[in-house]
Amino acid sequence: MSDSDDGSDDVTEAVQTFLGEADSAYEEYDKGYTDADAILRRLETAIESLREATGSDDE
């Protein structure tokens, strides 16, 4: 069975997308472009997307 058959490519992509979003959010916060509440909402959305992509129901 190849990686793409077992879904690991999808998980890898989901993790990379999450990490990119998190890095971007932190960078914008560090530069003063947005406030902490907005960053938390953005990260919550990214976390939920990651959970959905990986099939994780844990909160």
Structural domain includes residue 59: no
Give the residue numbers spanning the domain of 21. Answer: 8-54
Q: Is residue 17 part of a domain?
A: yes
In a domain, 3, yes or no: no
* Number of domains within the chain: 1
Angle at the Cα of 25 from the Cα atoms of 30 and 9, rounded to 5 degrees:
140
Q: Is 24 among the domain residues?
A: yes
Angstrom distance (rounded) from CA 38 to CA 52: 21
Q: What is the pLDDT along the chain (59 residues), one digit of tens a residue?
A: 344 456 788 889 999 999 999 999 999 999 999 999 999 999 999 999 999 988 887 65
Q: Do residues 18 and 5 lie in contact, with contact meaning Cβ atoms separated by under 8 Å?
A: no
pLDDT of 2: 45
The answer to whether residue 46 sits within a structural domain is: yes
In a domain, 2, yes or no: no
